[in-house]
């Protein structure tokens, strides 16, 4: 083999090695684009929570965010921390039902860890993770209330949080069932429960899981009664910034792994164990969202 040919082959091999390394670096840079890149650079992940949405998101006795959704987000953050090989600080940002979408859209929250229902209209502004819970809208009343069926709501005042999917479902339900009732806007679930307790409303409309949490976090849960009629379908997921495929995949990988391993049941039992084992809908949700790697 002549000298020139050897030089050509050597230079070609060197070029191939350089191109391969450059491609690998490009893939890594691409993977760390957007939210993941900012999280690694800052060492901080911004997680949204609500104070008054038990048992999904609330302030614990230590004045730190707690709840089912919060625990899921902590797991996600732990997995992302390992992926990025960096120690992350969890920066908890309080959100409300009114501002949570804008907080994610504006980049003030990386991952919103509350009770947001996946809807097509919301996907105009934000993306969603894999599902985290399945719920439905219903009514909470006082056990001493004369309301025994939903038809008894006619002429009554019903508390509901404006801008929620429950508000829309409630309006449709009342119309479809020919029930004339007065809807009373409240700023959050705790205010709705207070209105129910002091008699200014006859019922509080919200998602079943939240209503159960509101009753269980009082000194006497037996004071309350929960309707067995669902008025909506509420698939929960975590909101995140739109068009950030790498971050969405990282979040989904963490959730799917948690579901596949069955480790999610420890989190479920921590917050819902008092109600017994998960129903078929929750089991199916975990199974269907435990995507293979």
pLDDT at res. 22: 39
Query: Same topology for domains 35-135+234-289 and 137-226, yes or no?
Result: yes
pLDDT at res. 33: 77
Record the pTM: 0.82
What are the residue ranges in the chain where pLDDT is below 50?
1, 3, 5-31
pLDDT at res. 20: 40
In CATH, which superfamily holds the domain spanning 137-226? Periplasmic binding protein-like II (3.40.190.10)
pLDDT at res. 210: 93
pLDDT at res. 214: 92
The domains of the chain are located at 35-135+234-289, 137-226
pLDDT at res. 86: 96
What lies within 8 Å, CB to CB, of 43 at 6+ separation is 86, 87, 88, 89
In CATH, which superfamily holds the domain spanning 35-135+234-289? Periplasmic binding protein-like II (3.40.190.10)
pLDDT at res. 3: 45
Cα gap 290→293, rounded to integer Å: 9
pLDDT at res. 28: 42
């Amino acid at each position: 083999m002549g000298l020139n040919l050897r030089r050509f082959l050597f230079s070609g091999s060197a070029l191939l090695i350089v191109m391969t390394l450059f491609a690998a670096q490009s893939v890594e840079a691409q993977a760390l684009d957007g939210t993941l890149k900012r999280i690694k650079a800052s060492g901080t992940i911004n997680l949204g929570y609500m104070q008054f949405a038990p048992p999904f998101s609330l302030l614990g006795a230590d004045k730190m965010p707690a709840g089912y959704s919060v625990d899921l987000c902590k797991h996600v953050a732990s997995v992302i921390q390992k992926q990025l090989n960096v120690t992350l600080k969890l920066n908890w940002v309080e959100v409300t039902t009114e501002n949570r979408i804008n907080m994610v859209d504006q980049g003030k929250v990386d991952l919103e860890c509350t009770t947001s229902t996946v809807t097509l209209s919301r996907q105009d502004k934000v993306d969603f993770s894999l599902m985290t819970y399945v719920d439905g809208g219903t009514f909470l009343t006082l056990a001493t209330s004369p309301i025994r069926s939903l038809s008894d709501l006619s002429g009554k005042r019903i508390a509901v949080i404006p801008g929620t999917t429950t508000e829309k479902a409630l309006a449709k339900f009342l119309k479809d069932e020919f029930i004339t009732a007065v809807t009373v806007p409240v700023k959050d679930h705790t205010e709705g429960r207070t209105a129910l307790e002091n008699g200014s409303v006859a019922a509080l409309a919200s998602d079943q899981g939240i209503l159960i949490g509101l009753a269980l976090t009082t000194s006497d849960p037996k004071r309350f009664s929960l309707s067995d009629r669902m008025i909506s379908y509420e698939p929960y997921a975590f909101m995140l910034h739109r068009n950030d495929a790498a971050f969405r995949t990282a979040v989904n990988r963490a959730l799917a792994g948690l579901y596949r391993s069955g480790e999610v049941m420890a989190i479920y039992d921590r917050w819902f164990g008092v109600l017994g084992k998960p129903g078929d809908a929750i089991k199916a949700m975990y199974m269907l969202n435990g995507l293979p790697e």
